[in-house]
Amino acid sequence: MLKTGHFRPAVLGFAIGALSVTAYAAPMTYTIDPAHTYPSFEVDHSGGVSVWRGKFNSTSGTITMDKEAQTGSVNVAIDMNSINFGHDGLNDHTKGSDPGMLNAAEFPTATYTGTLVDWEDGAPTAVEGELTMHGMTLPVNLEIRSFQCGPGRGGSGEVCGADAHGEFNRADFGVNFAEAFGFDMGVALRIQIEAQSE
């Protein structure tokens, strides 16, 4: 479990202009913008020799929010075949069916569902949720380090964005390749996300 973060001015994401959080009182649905949403991650390589970083290039889903009631939910799908380390060989190996790898042919999609919680100054500061990956579903909570909304692109609706951080142990999901060689199984998530209402 991660400690709940505190609201901070947006640095990445949900962030174009300034808009009162009370301007939209009714529950609203926001569609994730795949061109501005990239879950990224950091993993150990060779037992601490270096840190490898990658991201997923294809993400979809929705976020619902009622800012007045301070409630909301997250529903995200990630294409596991879109993983990108910047190294084609590692991409293919990670997606492959070797024991302890993602086996994207059998498990092509990871999903994250959760509830927006711990609202401060009209904005959520955390997500309590579950990650489904490699055929397993386990709790994974996120700390929202920045959150902001503004006028929607194209002059309609509203765009919101956030920078969310989390951690999990990949071996818990059966993705334990190289654990026997001393690799750290911890995964650090760094998720930029933008979503727009109609």
List, for the chain, all residue ranges whose pLDDT scores fall below the cut of 70: 1-25
Helices (H), 44-141: 88-95
Give pLDDT tens digits for 147-167.
999 999 888 899 999 999 999
At residue 164, the pLDDT reads 97
CA proximity to 13, closest of 171, 162, 198: 162
Task: Supply the pLDDT for residue 13.
Answer: 39
Provide the 8-state DSSP code for 175. Answer: -
Q: Tell me the per-residue pLDDT of 132-152, one tens digit each, with 9 for 90 and over.
A: 999 999 999 999 999 999 999
pLDDT of residue 151: 95
Domain boundaries, the chain: 28-196
Give the three-state DSSP class for 88. helix
Q: Extract the tokens encoding 187.
A: 């995964």
Phi, psi of 180, rounded to the nearest 5 degrees: -65, -20
The domain 28-196 is placed in CATH, from the list 2.40.128.110, 3.40.50.10490, 3.40.50.20, 3.20.10.10, at 2.40.128.110
